[in-house]
Structure 1
Amino acid sequence: MPIMSKNQKYLVMLALLAGAAPAAVVAQDQAQDAPPADVSASVAMPAAELTEGPEIKGIISARSGDRMQVTAADGSKSVITINDDTKISASKGLFGLGRDHLAATSLLNGLPVTVKTLQAGEGLLASKIALQNKDLKTASMINNGTAQRFDEQTAATEALRGRMGEIDQYNVKGTTNVNFDTGKAVLSDQAKNDLCAAATSANGMSNALLLVVGYTDSTGGEELNQELSEKRASRVVNYLQQACGWKPYRMLTPTGMAEADPVASNDTVEGKAQNRRVAVNILVSKAVDGL
C-alpha cells in the first residue's frame, strides 16, 4: 500500500473539492427542519391554465414518477412535473455542442440542472431542462449498477452527509492501486480481488468514504490520456458497486488525472506499468474520525 506524496494528497483534495460542493448543498438542505417535499403524486395541469414560470437552477434531490425535486444553492426546494413535452438537453464544451431529446431517465439524483417552467396555480411543469454532459457522465457513473431503492438511498445519504456537509478535511486511511495494460481499461483478476479487499477494509471503518482517481503513463496525447484515466476510474467504480457491494452514497465523485503525479519514472517500462493505475483512497473526515 504506497504512501501518498504531498502532490498526490493535493490532487486528492482538488478532486474532493470538485465533488464536495454539490454534496454540501444537498447536506445543508437536508439539515433543515422542514419536512421534504412530497414528490410521490402526479398533478394534472390543464394547458389552458399554464403561464410562464420561474427559471430554476439547482441539484435534483429527489425523483418519483413524473416529478422531481430541485434544491437550489440557497436551500430552497421546488417540486416540478415532467411530461412528454418536456425537452431535456445536454450541452457539451465551450460552444454548447451537445444532444437534445434525452430521456427522463437521464435525470439522476445529484445532477445539476437548469429548468425553464410553466406554472398552473402553485404547480410547476418543466418545459425545458438543460444539463451538462460532464455532469450527466459523473451522475451516471455513480448511479450505475445499483438496484437500491431511492428512498433507502436517501435515508442513508441524509444520515451520512448530514454529518459531513460542512467538512472539507479528511484523513487518508489507506490507498489501493490497481494497474492496467497500455491503452486498456480492463480489470485483471488480481485487480478485482484487490478492489473487493479494499471495499471490505473500508466497510470495517466507521464513516469511511472511497475516492477513486484514474491515471495513465506518458504514452499517448493529453486528450486521449484524460479520457482513458476517466474510463479506468469509471470501470473501478462500477466494479466496486456491482461486485464488491460498495454503496454509491459512500463514494465521492471519481475523477481522471491523466498522467499527473506518477508514482514511478515514465522513462522505463516498469515505471510506466506502475503509473497505469487507479488509486482507491479510503477517506474519513477528521471531524468524525474515531467516532
Structure 2
Amino acid sequence: MNTPRRIMLAALLGAAAASGLAAQTAPAGQANYDMETTVYGNLPPLAEMEEGPRVSGIISARKGSRLQITGDDGTVTMVTLHSETEIRTRGGFLGIGNKTLDQSALLNGLPVTIKTSKYAEGLVASEVRFTSDDRMIAAMIRGGTQQQFGEQGAAIQQNAAATEALRGRLGDIDKYNLKGTTNVYFDTGRATLSPAAKNELCAAAQTAGADENSLMLVLGYTDITGSQEVNQTLSEKRAAAVVNHLQQVCKWKPYRMLTPTGMATADPAADNTTAAGRAQNRRVSVNILVSKALDGM
C-alpha cells in the first residue's frame, strides 16, 4: 500500500455508510446525494460488460453490495460488487502468496485496488485486491480490538501497549522523519540473502530498536534484466526475504513493520547500462522512520 493511502486509513475508519452508493465518480468535496447513477437489480455476467477504469483508494463507506471509494486526492467513486467479483489479498507482512476471500472481507478503511466493468452509467467491480496486513490494521482499528503482537503467545496485557502505540503512529503516518537507510544487495535473479546482508540487517534492527517509536519500511528492487512481470515478482521476493530475516532472526516486531513493497525497476540507484550500476540496483532498501509527532519522545 502506498503511503498516502495508509495516511487516510485512520481518518476514514468509522465513516457512516452512504445512504445510496452510486457507481460514479465525484470530485473531492462533492456530496454523495449529488450522485444519482446507481447500479441496482440483477446484473448481467461480467463477460457481457465493457471494461471500465481501475479504481484505487480507501473504502470509506459500504452499503450492501455498493462501495464508496475515496482516492488519494479525495475523489469519490461508487462501485457495485457483482456475484462474480473476485476478491483477493496478497499475503501481508511477508508480501507473498495470494488468497481468495468473500465480500465480507471488504471493511471500511481498507485500501483497495479495483478492476471495474461498465454497466449502464455505473461501475461494477470485476476484481478487488488488497494486502492482508492492511485488512488486519483496518479491522483492528475499526473494531477497537487489542491485537496480539508479542512473541510466542505473550499475554494480551503485554501487547495492549504495543497495539495502542501502533494506533497512535497511524494517525501521524504522513509525517515521518527518515532516521536511516540500510541497503542489502542480491545476485542476478536471486532473492537469497548473503551472510553479510544478514549481519547488516540485524545491525540495522539493533540500531532502530534503540528508539521505541521507530518503524521499518522495506522496499525491494531489481535491475532491468528480465521482463516487468518477472522483476515485480522478484522484487517482492527480495523484500519478503528481508522481512523474514528481520522478524525471525533479528526479532524485529511485526507491528513495527510497514507494508513491504516490490518496486521492480523503479527508482534505480545507479545506471542500468553498466554491470556495476545493475549490481547497485539489485537491492532491498530498509528505511527507518519515526513519526514527527513521536520523534524525540
The TM-score normalised by the length of structure 2 is 0.55
Do residues 288 (structure 1) and 275 (structure 2) align?
no
C-alpha distance in 2 between matches for 1:162 and 1:280:
22
For the 8 Å contact 1:144–1:238, the answer to whether it is kept is no
* Superposed displacement of residue 166, structure 1: 3.7
Do the aligned partners of residues 180 and 24 (structure 1) sit closer, same or farther apart at CA in structure 2, a change above 3 Å counting? Answer: farther
Question: Which of residues 170, 175, 181 in structure 2 aligns to 1:175?
Answer: 181
Q: Structure 2: state its 5+ residue gaps.
A: 16-62, 68-85, 91-97, 113-126, 137-147
1:241-269 CA distances to partner (integer Å, 9 max, x unpaired)? 11100001111111111111111111111
Q: How many correspondences in the alignment?
A: 200
For the 8 Å contact 1:16–1:252, the answer to whether it is kept is no
Do the aligned partners of residues 195 and 175 (structure 1) sit closer, same or farther apart at CA in structure 2, a change above 3 Å counting? Answer: same
Question: Which of residues 279, 283, 288 in structure 2 aligns to 1:273?
Answer: 279
Task: Compute the RMSD of aligned alpha carbons.
Answer: 4.2
Determine helix, strand or coil for the equivalent of 2:285.
strand
2:197 matched residue in structure 1: 191
For the 8 Å contact 2:220–2:236, the answer to whether it is kept is yes
1:50 matched residue in structure 2: none
- Percent identical among aligned pairs is 52
C-alpha distance in 2 between matches for 1:208 and 1:279:
16
> Which residue identity does 1:135 align to in structure 2?
T
Do residues 258 (structure 1) and 258 (structure 2) align?
no
> Which residue identity does 2:226 align to in structure 1?
G
Do the aligned partners of residues 150 and 101 (structure 1) sit closer, same or farther apart at CA in structure 2, a change above 3 Å counting? Answer: farther
Do the aligned partners of residues 216 and 153 (structure 1) sit closer, same or farther apart at CA in structure 2, a change above 3 Å counting? Answer: farther
* Superposed displacement of residue 167, structure 1: 4.1
For the 8 Å contact 1:230–1:255, the answer to whether it is kept is yes
C-alpha distance in 2 between matches for 1:57 and 1:154:
34
Do the aligned partners of residues 279 and 145 (structure 1) sit closer, same or farther apart at CA in structure 2, a change above 3 Å counting? Answer: farther
Do residues 209 (structure 1) and 209 (structure 2) align?
no
Do the aligned partners of residues 205 and 57 (structure 1) sit closer, same or farther apart at CA in structure 2, a change above 3 Å counting? Answer: farther
> Which residue identity does 2:132 align to in structure 1?
L
After the TM superposition, list the runs of 4 or more consecutive aligned residues in structure 1 that deviate by more than 3 angstroms: 18-26, 54-58, 89-93, 98-102, 109-114, 131-134, 136-140, 143-155
Question: Which of residues 224, 240, 257 in structure 1 aligns to 2:230?
Answer: 224
Question: Which of residues 119, 131, 134 in structure 2 aligns to 1:135?
Answer: 131
* Superposed displacement of residue 239, structure 1: 1.0
C-alpha distance in 2 between matches for 1:145 and 1:180:
31
C-alpha distance in 1 between matches for 2:270 and 2:201:
21
C-alpha distance in 2 between matches for 1:271 and 1:145:
41
1:23-71 CA distances to partner (integer Å, 9 max, x unpaired)? 6667x89xxxxxxxxxxxxxxxxxxxxxxxx74999xxxxxxxxxxxxx
Do residues 158 (structure 1) and 168 (structure 2) align?
no
